[in-house]
Structure 1
Amino acid sequence: MNAECIAIQPIQTPASRLGRFPLNQWYMAGFSTDLTDKPVGRTFLNQKVVLFRTGEGQVAALEDRCCHRSLPLSCGTVETSGVRCGYHGMLYAPNGTCIEIPGQERIPAKARVKTFHVAEKNHIVWIWMPKEEGGAPTVEAPDYRWHDDPRYKFGSGQYHYNAPWQLIHDNLLDLSHLGYVHLKTIGGNAKLHMSAKMNVTQEGDTVKVVRLMPGSTPPPTYKAAWPFGDTCDRWQEIEFELSHLKIWTGAVEPGTDAIDDPERGGFHMRGLHGITPETEESCHYFWSMSSTKHPDMPENIEAVIEQTAFTFDEDRVVIEEQYRNIQRFGGKPNWLDIHVDVGGNRARRIVERLIADSVDPQPA
């Protein structure tokens, strides 16, 4: 039996609550490097899933429950052709069919478990969460080409949050908090962050927030990675999609490239943020950071990743404490909106509409 499985299995929430998430959507399930020689048990949208890569290299996702006596399959082992239950050794193929019962020649037709469609692209594993059991994807999994762009190097990581996923959306769509929360890394002048020119647009279910900050003081992370002087011209471009957010930040030296030029040079950080609900009160946060390197400075990716992780540590403290306080004050936010909340509020409206689309109408 996989001895680690008991520690990593979260509590399952009743199936009656599944409708509080958008369905028929791709969600980020992890990175390719997560799937090695052991099954991985995770909960997505209140549904327990086991992820694994067969010995033949195929990535698969099944319901994390053996059909025999319900042991999580994540407590088992991975073999060439599938995942084997750690209780009585039943072997399941990637399509959920039991293909071996030790000591028994006949395999009942109902010896199978629920399957989920997965896709592996750009070093990312995506899972399709259908409205109807077994429903096939209606669109391709997202592309994230920066992981394969030779101009960039990337590192990745993941967090578990004891907070609802949309609080993280709010945080990422409002980078004005950098000047207060991230003083040691990517912060900078707090007043400049709060007063930066901001443009919020929406196309379909994508929200884009662009903030330009010329004449900024380079924050520590930028100074460590690029030979900036006393000032730099910074930009922040955030794109929200349900499955993930893309945040493109960086800076150029004053008097060089324009910070609204799509082909601008300078120091670039391209962040991927895959926020996947676990339950209504918890979520997975899969992240990567891809950055450019100055030709006259030593390799910087390790320092960038280390400082990026530090900023996420700081964010998690804030967001989890924020959620605890929401619960202390009755569990329903009673918020005042200010100018920096436009992007987050638009994203929330998109999520609510997609949740409504995922719920079957009640009979009259």
Structure 2
Amino acid sequence: MDDPAQTKPDPVRAGTSTTGPDRNWPLNSWWVAAHASEVTEKPILRWIAEMPIAFYRTAEGTLAALHNRCPHRFAPLHKGDVEGDNLVCPYHGFQFAPSGQCVNVPTQEKTPAAIRVRSYPVVERYGFVWVWTGEVERADPDLIPADLAYLSDPAWHVVWGYLPVSGNFMQMKENVLDLTHFAFLHKNSAQITGWDRPPAVEVANGRVTFRQLFDMQPLPAIYAVPAGKAPGKLVNRDNWGTQLSPGAHHGAVDMHDPDPGPDGLERFALRIIHLTTPVSIGKTHYYWAMARDHGQPFDFAAMRAQASVIFGEDIEIVEASQEMARCTADHDKAVEFSVAADRAAIEGRRLVQAMVRNEAAE
């Protein structure tokens, strides 16, 4: 698996993204920074919304997230060690509490109260580490989508992975809001057919949801094999997906086999989770997860390899589009056309744009 610590913004914003040169993410939002298993007593670095953040666990296992720049001589704090609850700067040994307050300067008895770093609200939920990048008083953990609770349900099998993306986070979000690309981009890897018409779209309560019903259609192998079904068997599929927040989306395949046979599954479900966190205008952390309520536990290595192929196709086209935007001299004059199948993606874009505008107006 690729190391997310290697994903960081360019030293200078080079060119533009497909969405333009300006920040297009809200700050008052929860973003996934890591899988919970990645954060230990050894600090790690994540660039989130163009800010370097050091994540670590205290001696009791509590999460902490501090701005990764020591205010003494600007050394990166994630290269230091944890002593008890405190993160120790690797350069001169200044110690910072989870609150961000410097609590010890080794070379003097009194520690100036003014020495501190920013502390970020951080929550472990559904197997992931979520960080809030906006105003601290607005950091309500209840804003983390409760819809993802099945990720912590022992009745569901779960697998996860990480892939870096050299593209804007909204490109990845819009990609999973329009699955008509399956018939073209994933025609060989996923072999999921039928996405040949616009889905129904609903916008409500700050979310956008699309839904497509497939009545008695051949079941692709990727869905059939875990359920013990023959690939190609005719079943009913309810495909839907919801943009839950700026950083979280999940898709669903709810399946119904009206002729399951003896001991066969009549109803079974799969969830595909896409967690997109902006690194910069042109880079994204992409954590994904899959969950199913049937079959055997996932073979992590096999599933990650398969996901790297399918999701890798998404990333390849997103990165190619990003490269076009950065390198083509007339991109600022390019006109983007949308069609009926783009409605969910456009509505998702509008919801996030409204959040950014509202923050700017405050």
Name the TM-score class by shorter chain: 0.7 to 0.9
Q: Which residue does the alignment assign to 1:55?
A: 59
2:109 corresponds to 1:105 = yes
> Which structure carries more relative contact order (alpha carbon 8 Å, separation 6+)?
2
Report if the CA contact (8 A) 1:50-1:62 is conserved: yes
Once residues 218 and 327 of structure 2 are traced to their aligned partners in structure 1, the CA distance between those partners, rounded to angstroms, is: 38
2:121 corresponds to 1:120 = no
How far apart are 1:293 and its partner, in Å? 2.5
How far apart are 1:310 and its partner, in Å? 2.6
Once residues 81 and 37 of structure 2 are traced to their aligned partners in structure 1, the CA distance between those partners, rounded to angstroms, is: 17
Question: Within 5 A, what are the aligned runs for 1:127-166?
Answer: 127-131=131-135, 134-138=136-140, 140-142=142-144, 143=146, 144-166=148-170
Q: Which residue does the alignment assign to 1:308?
A: 307
2:236 corresponds to 1:237 = no
Q: 1:220 to 1:169 in 2, by over 3 A?
A: same
2:295 corresponds to 1:291 = no
How far apart are 1:304 and its partner, in Å? 4.2
Q: Any idea what SS the aligned residue of 1:109 has?
A: coil
Q: 1:7 to 1:26 in 2, by over 3 A?
A: closer
Q: 1:24 to 1:355 in 2, by over 3 A?
A: same
Once residues 62 and 300 of structure 1 are traced to their aligned partners in structure 2, the CA distance between those partners, rounded to angstroms, is: 34
Once residues 27 and 91 of structure 1 are traced to their aligned partners in structure 2, the CA distance between those partners, rounded to angstroms, is: 27
Report if the CA contact (8 A) 1:185-1:220 is conserved: no
How far apart are 1:214 and its partner, in Å? 2.3
Report if the CA contact (8 A) 2:156-2:292 is conserved: yes
Given residue 222 of structure 2, which amino acid in structure 1 is its aligned partner?
T
Given residue 355 of structure 1, which amino acid in structure 2 is its aligned partner?
V
Q: Which residue does the alignment assign to 2:27?
A: 23
How far apart are 1:44 and its partner, in Å? 1.4
- Alignment length (residue pairs): 342
Once residues 51 and 23 of structure 2 are traced to their aligned partners in structure 1, the CA distance between those partners, rounded to angstroms, is: 12
TM-score for both structures, normalised by structure 2: 0.85
Question: Within 5 A, what are the aligned runs for 1:206-285?
Answer: 206-229=207-230, 230-231=232-233, 232-240=235-243, 241-255=245-259, 266-285=267-286
- How much is the aligned-residue C-alpha RMSD, in angstroms? 2.7
Equivalent residue in structure 2 for 1:86, among 84, 90, 94 = 90
TM-score for both structures, normalised by structure 1: 0.85
Q: 1:18 to 1:89 in 2, by over 3 A?
A: farther
Once residues 10 and 338 of structure 1 are traced to their aligned partners in structure 2, the CA distance between those partners, rounded to angstroms, is: 32
Once residues 283 and 82 of structure 1 are traced to their aligned partners in structure 2, the CA distance between those partners, rounded to angstroms, is: 29
1:232-277 deviation line (CA, Å, top 9, x unaligned): 3222210002231011124333556xxxxxxx95342212211111
How far apart are 1:223 and its partner, in Å? 3.3
1:13-48 deviation line (CA, Å, top 9, x unaligned): 68xx98643122222222211102321111211122
Q: More deviation in 325-334 or 103-112?
A: 325-334
Report if the CA contact (8 A) 2:164-2:284 is conserved: yes
How far apart are 1:113 and its partner, in Å? 0.6
Once residues 5 and 30 of structure 2 are traced to their aligned partners in structure 1, the CA distance between those partners, rounded to angstroms, is: 27
How far apart are 1:102 and its partner, in Å? 2.1
Once residues 310 and 172 of structure 2 are traced to their aligned partners in structure 1, the CA distance between those partners, rounded to angstroms, is: 13
Report if the CA contact (8 A) 2:4-2:285 is conserved: no
Q: 1:250 to 1:126 in 2, by over 3 A?
A: same
Q: More deviation in 264-273 or 197-206?
A: 264-273
Report if the CA contact (8 A) 2:7-2:164 is conserved: no
Given residue 142 of structure 2, which amino acid in structure 1 is its aligned partner?
E
Q: More deviation in 176-185 or 117-126?
A: 176-185
Q: More deviation in 317-326 or 161-170?
A: 317-326
How far apart are 1:299 and its partner, in Å? 4.3
Given residue 207 of structure 1, which amino acid in structure 2 is its aligned partner?
V
Q: Which residue does the alignment assign to 1:328?
A: 327
Q: 1:125 to 1:7 in 2, by over 3 A?
A: closer
Report if the CA contact (8 A) 2:172-2:318 is conserved: yes
1:65-124 deviation line (CA, Å, top 9, x unaligned): 001100111121233212111111111111001122223221111121111111112222
Once residues 27 and 199 of structure 1 are traced to their aligned partners in structure 2, the CA distance between those partners, rounded to angstroms, is: 28
Question: Within 5 A, what are the aligned runs for 1:63-74?
Answer: 63-74=67-78
Report if the CA contact (8 A) 1:188-1:219 is conserved: yes
Q: Any idea what SS the aligned residue of 2:150 has?
A: helix
Once residues 346 and 13 of structure 1 are traced to their aligned partners in structure 2, the CA distance between those partners, rounded to angstroms, is: 31
Q: Any idea what SS the aligned residue of 2:41 has?
A: coil
2:176 corresponds to 1:177 = no
How far apart are 1:12 and its partner, in Å? 5.6
